[in-house]
Amino acid sequence: VPKKLVTTVSGCADDALAGLVACNPGLRLLQGHRVVLRDDLPAIRGRVALLSGGGSGHEPAHAGETPPAPPVPPTHRHGAEPSSLSAGYVGKGMLTGVVAGAVFASPAVGSVLAAIRAVAQAGAAGILLIVKNYTGDRLNFGMALERARAEGADVRMVVVGDDCAFAAPGKAGRRGICGTVLIHKVAGALAEAGASLDEVVEKVTAAAKAMGTLGLSLSPCSVPGSKPSFQLAEDEMELGLGIHGEAGVRRMKVLPADKAVETMLEHMTDPSNASHLSLAPGEPPRTLCAPPNPPDPSLILPPHAAGSSVVLVVNNLGGLSCLELGIMAGAAVRCLESRGIRIARALVGSFMTALEMAGVSLTLMLVDEELVGLIDAKTTAVAWPNIPAGPATTQREEVPAPTERPGKPQDEPGIGPGTARVQRVLERVCSTLLDIQDKLNELDRGAGDGDCGHTHARAAQAIREWMSSRPPPAAPAQLLSALADVLLEQMGGSSGVLYGLFLTAAARSLWGRSDSPAWADAMDAGIEAMQRSVPGAVESQFPLGVPIPPEFPCIPRRYGGAAPGDRTMLDSLCAAAQALHSLRTPGADLLQVLAAAVQSAEAAAEATRHMEAGAGRASYIRSSRLEQPDPGAVAVAAVLGAVLE
């Protein structure tokens, strides 16, 4: 059973609902019911009230009470599982209230009826129930509607079914999923503008018919206290699954993000699919879709020639990282643009989740100028994104790069190794780093993120691209200075900064020199720079070696905060530097000294296996868990070995 951060399994949904209301002053609970209402109910007098709801577990959807017994694992059926909407969408310009049920279970008729009575007594000019197409929701909201009508209330119901998964939907019809959030927004904007109940029902019904959604997941989800609803192999993904953990319509191998988006859009728009969404292709854009900072009238731009205009929702199903969500969003925009579809608006985030499911859904709503205006209308609902009004496009003009200062001088003839030798050495360094990429990643996993190999591989690729663009300088100072610029700009991570500091200081020490002792001096200068105080920081008031007073306990002691013995790349560098001091002896053999330096660096890297980390990310890990050598120290030894070779 998967771990969950809950107080009790039985009360987790009630606790979540209470937390939501406690943190949002614009929301109120209806006494005795799992109903969340707007704080300003008197403001709806004379306007249409909008109610929705369903089961919990779709946060920012609302929470209810978890069922006492684990549910029967869902199958490939559809139309039978209850659904939920969000108290996060309650507010001026969206919903008047929501009714929360159990996790993945419909709310009781009594709670739905209580919500209807509350808004009717507040003076609502008609009440619209927005219900996703699941049997439990239709039954419970429908029964409450009949009872409210018998009491004299003017109540209507719109059932939303936007799922494009099934090629031949059964008697239950298409499931209602994330597209329902757009219906909330359209209905809320209409109601806030004073539209009648008939007008709201007419426009919302039309909008719901011009909408489609499809989900894709890398993992199942699990109701608190229960096992996952289905299993996926490490290399599998599920297409067309529902939002309650029910399996989808197709299981396939994991695809790259762009291919996954193409697969989803092809399925959603396939004419042989009875639940498809018809999109009229147009001419792909060749220029900007909108000028910079357009005036308000141009926010609604004409569609591409013969192409559909849509609102796109890229929805996190719960467990997808923001990084992956952004990649999927960019792929969706590119794919739609390539078909000539104009994306009038794009919403990216968590709008309707399935607990911790690592997946995404795409929703497309065909829109005209009026619908886009309703999507743009203001709302106080906390879960609705505060996005600028304007189309989504990959054709947006980039900010020009700042002008660089005049370049540094290139080769000085007669100084340092020849360019061909420099290229051979650098190529060996690059190939070595690429060869040990997986090894460095594996070593780094013990300290946390496991990306040391990727970072050094990025450096190797950057150096190769730099060498292919121009011959590297042969003069040592200029060579190291240029390499520092490349790594500082493209390597990233703490390693990129530290290598940049080292090379910059070493280059200054080598300026105008190429004798053997100069390389020993350069090594020392680079190491000293990596340990130097931050300019302008409080610590810069205290010379190296002087203890920092206790009133400044949090000031970092060095750029990298490390010293020899702290289990970092400095251990290998300092060991190599000691060996290189032999270059200051007249007549020293350069290759023999370098071989000794490599041996010392390799031994120091291996010795970090037995050290307790005193700096870097590894310092947060218990020493008993650090059983491998430090990856940064291993990388330094490998670079020196490549230079020797």
Catalogue the active-site residues. 244
The letter for the amino acid at 215 is G
The letter for the amino acid at 293 is N
Contacts 24+ apart (CB under 8 A), 508-516: 508/477, 510/476, 510/477, 510/480, 511/477, 512/415, 512/477, 513/476, 513/477, 514/415, 514/416, 514/475, 514/476, 516/583, 516/584, 516/588, 516/590, 516/593
User: What is the distance between the alpha carbons of residues 85 and 34, in angstroms, rounded to a whole number?
Assistant: 13
In the block, tokens 């009781």 appear at 108
Beta bridge partners of 343: 310, 392
154's tokens? 């003017």
Do residues 125 and 47 make contact, with C-beta atoms less than 8 angstroms apart?
yes
Pairing of strands 127-132, 49-56: parallel
Do residues 361 and 215 make contact, with C-beta atoms less than 8 angstroms apart?
yes
In the block, tokens 């996993």 appear at 445
Helix (H) / strand (E) element for 337: namely helix 322-338
129's tokens? 């129930």
Alpha helices in 174-300 (DSSP H): 180-192, 197-209, 257-269
500's tokens? 């940049």
Beta bridge partners of 103: 56
User: What is the distance between the alpha carbons of residues 393 and 452, in angstroms, rounded to a whole number?
Assistant: 34
Sheet bearing 49-56, strands edge to edge: 27-29, 35-38, 97-103, 49-56, 127-132, 155-160
User: What is the distance between the alpha carbons of residues 226 and 10, in angstroms, rounded to a whole number?
Assistant: 12
User: What is the distance between the alpha carbons of residues 85 and 63, in angstroms, rounded to a whole number?
Assistant: 9
In the block, tokens 């299981």 appear at 251
The letter for the amino acid at 49 is A
User: What is the distance between the alpha carbons of residues 174 and 162, in angstroms, rounded to a whole number?
Assistant: 6
307's tokens? 């192409």
Q: Distance from first CA to last CA of the chain, Å, rounded? A: 53
Do residues 86 and 383 make contact, with C-beta atoms less than 8 angstroms apart?
yes
User: What is the distance between the alpha carbons of residues 230 and 577, in angstroms, rounded to a whole number?
Assistant: 57
72's tokens? 């029967």
The letter for the amino acid at 38 is R
Do residues 105 and 260 make contact, with C-beta atoms less than 8 angstroms apart?
no
Q: Who's near 80: CB < 8 A, 6+ residues apart?
A: 134, 135, 136, 172
Pairing of strands 236-239, 250-253: antiparallel
- What is residue 125's DSSP assignment? S
User: What is the distance between the alpha carbons of residues 509 and 637, in angstroms, rounded to a whole number?
Assistant: 22
